[in-house]
Amino acid sequence: MGGRPRGPVVPARRVRLLTCVLLFFALALIIDGVAGERGLIANNRDRRQIEQAERDLAAKRRENAELTDYRDRLKRKDPATIEEIARREHGLIRPGEKLFILKDAPKKRK
């Protein structure tokens, strides 16, 4: 009357099949977690895109602040700003200044 308690006996082939099925699903879950639509690779790509967008936004904000300052100087009729525009865009000079126009020398042909 001694011995092991007897329960349902599962054939070795069925155990191997069950193990293979479980391994397949575990592997599928791991691959999906790494390379899936919401996996590790996609998250890293999205994180890099967000960081780039934040850098672009910061640059645009700096540019906007510079343009706002420039607009405010024009509204106040700041003499230095008006002179800068007159010189840069219209080529104007003050009385007594001399304007030198330099032209590129033609390239020598060999």
Which position has the higher pLDDT, 49 or 109?
49
> Confidence band (pLDDT; 50, 70, 90) for 108?
confident
pLDDT, one tens digit per residue, over 82-95 is 888 888 888 888 88
Q: Tell me: pLDDT of 2 over 60.
A: no
Q: What angle do CA 90, 60, 72 make, to 5 degrees?
A: 50
Listed in order, strand segments (DSSP E) in 1-110 are none
The model's pTM = 0.53
- C-alpha dihedral over 30, 31, 35, 40, to 10 degrees? 10
Report whether pLDDT(110) > 70: no
Predicted pLDDT at 104: 82
Q: CA gyration radius for the chain?
A: 38
Mean pLDDT highest for which of 9-13, 60-64, 66-70?
Answer: 60-64
